């Protein structure tokens, strides 16, 4: 059986995306059809955007159903892949939204609630590849200061007449520098405004939206699952060792950053997805990744990487 496979990710053409960042990333990749607007690049096995295995011409879902031990020793046919890995390119604000916890997701999915396309909680990490502006969590008080007014005007420029822009007076305005990361827990209201980054999350596409979008809006359901307590998201700390710089979530996968150098890691308990964003990398002395290319390493196989550029990996 293959120890390393090449993944061809899926490009999502949502209207808030841009037309340059992901396109330039994919110039030397195995993705052949690139839409005019590229908002997200999905690397995973979720039914709403499943990657393809280049070597077998199968969907990743089909491949892991035939080779469950590739994912983990206890993975069973039909189980969900343990995480979803994305690149985001944000040209205009996304919806005001939040995600369900495990109980809400399971119940909503079983009852056929159209907001829930899978039975999984959604816990996500965002890592800034470029400076990123976002709204995240509730302020202690309703605030109409100069910063909030400027943000409100900016959002209204994209969504004139949408009163959901008023949420800016109740939410924290957060600026992330390149290389900084935050964790967004279920129930946390948030909205990405601008920037480029990596999203790494549990394997879920459950999003409940209040507005600022042409997609489905359900304010009643959002109000039911949203956390009403004031909170300010803290930056995730990282740990560096011979396997790279690691960003951890309490519940979910780990993101690792590998800049120029040699790296080794044998701690993953699942298959590992690897993407090269700059330069190139030799993986396990036999597999070369160029900019924009993606591979998956089988569970139980350690990672060695000789990097001349920048590589990101995801695993549990």
- Residue 295 sits in a domain whose CATH number is 2.60.120.10
Q: Is residue 307 part of a domain?
A: yes
CA gap 52, 5 in Å, rounded? 10
Q: Tell me what pLDDT residue 251 has.
A: 74
**Per-residue model confidence as pLDDT tens digits over 113-132:** 999 999 999 999 999 999 99
Domain interval for residue 192: 4-225
Same domain, residue pair 256 and 296: yes
17 burial class (0-12, 13-18, 19+ CB within 10 angstroms)?
buried
pTM of the entire structure? 0.97
169 and 265 in a common domain: no
Q: Report the 10 Å Cβ neighbour count for 141.
A: 8
For the segment 258-262, the average pLDDT, to the nearest whole number, is: 98
Do 150 and 268 belong together in one domain?
no
114 and 171 housed in the same domain: yes
> What is the Cα–Cα distance from 283 to 264, expressed in whole angstroms?
10
In the chain, pLDDT over 70 holds for what percent of residues?
Answer: 100
Looking at the domain assignment, is residue 233 inside a domain?
A: no
Domain termination site, one of 176, 197, 225: 225
292 and 204 in a common domain: no
The predicted model gives 67-96 an average pLDDT of: 93
Could you tell me if 42 and 154 lie in one domain?
yes
Are 69 and 106 members of one domain? yes
The number of folded domains in the chain is 2
Average pLDDT over residues 62-74: 95
Predicted confidence (pLDDT) at residue 2 exceeds the cutoff of 90: no
Same-domain check for residues 190 and 246: no
Both structure tokens of 149 = 């007014």
Residues 25, 124, 115, 161: is their CA dihedral positive or negative? Answer: negative
**In terms of domains, do 217 and 243 share one?**
no
Q: What is the pLDDT of residue 78?
A: 72
pLDDT attached to residue 27: 92
pLDDT, one tens digit per residue, over 138-170 is: 999 999 999 999 999 999 999 999 999 999 999
- The residue to which tokens 């997805």 are assigned: 273
pLDDT band at 55 (very low <50, low <70, confident <90, very high): very high
Inside any domain, residue 214: yes
pLDDT digits (tens, 9 = 90+) for 202-234: 999 999 999 999 999 999 999 999 999 999 989
Question: Which pLDDT belongs to residue 1?
Answer: 62
Please check whether residues 171 and 212 belong to one and the same domain: yes
**CA–CA distance from 219 to each of 236, 282, 306 (Å)?**
30, 48, 48
Mean pLDDT of the chain: 96
């Amino acid at each position: 059986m293959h120890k390393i496979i090449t993944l061809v990710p899926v490009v999502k053409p949502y209207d808030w995306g841009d037309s340059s960042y992901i396109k330039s990333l994919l110039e030397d990749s195995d993705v052949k059809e690139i839409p005019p607007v590229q908002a997200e690049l999905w690397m995973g096995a979720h039914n709403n955007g499943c990657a393809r295995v280049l070597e077998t011409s199968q969907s990743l879902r089909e491949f892991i159903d035939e080779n469950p031990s590739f994912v983990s020793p206890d993975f069973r046919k039909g189980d969900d892949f343990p995480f979803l890995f994305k690149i985001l390119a944000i040209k205009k604000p996304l919806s005001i939204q939040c995600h369900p916890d495990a109980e809400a997701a399971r119940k909503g999915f079983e009852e056929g609630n159209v907001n829930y396309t899978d039975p999984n909680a959604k816990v996500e990490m965002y890592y800034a590849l470029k400076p990123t502006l976002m709204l995240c969590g509730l302020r202690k008080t309703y605030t109409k200061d100069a910063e909030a007014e400027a943000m409100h005007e900016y959002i209204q420029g994209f969504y004139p007449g949408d009163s959901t822009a008023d949420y800016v007076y109740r939410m924290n305005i957060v600026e992330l520098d390149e290389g900084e990361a935050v964790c967004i827990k279920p129930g946390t209201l948030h909205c990405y405004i601008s920037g480029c980054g990596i999203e790494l999350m549990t394997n879920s596409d459950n999003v409940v939206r209040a507005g600022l979008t042409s997609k489905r809006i359900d304010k009643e359901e959002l109000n039911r699952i949203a956390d009403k307590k004031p909170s300010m998201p803290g930056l995730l700390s990282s740990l560096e060792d011979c396997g790279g710089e690691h960003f951890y979530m309490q519940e979910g996968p780990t993101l690792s950053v590998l800049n120029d150098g040699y790296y080794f890691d044998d701690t993953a308990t699942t298959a590992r997805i690897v993407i090269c964003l700059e330069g190139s990398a030799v993986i396990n002395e036999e597999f070369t990744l160029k900019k924009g290319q993606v591979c998956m390493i089988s569970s139980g196989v350690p990672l060695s990487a000789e990097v001349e550029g920048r590589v990101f990996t995801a695993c549990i």
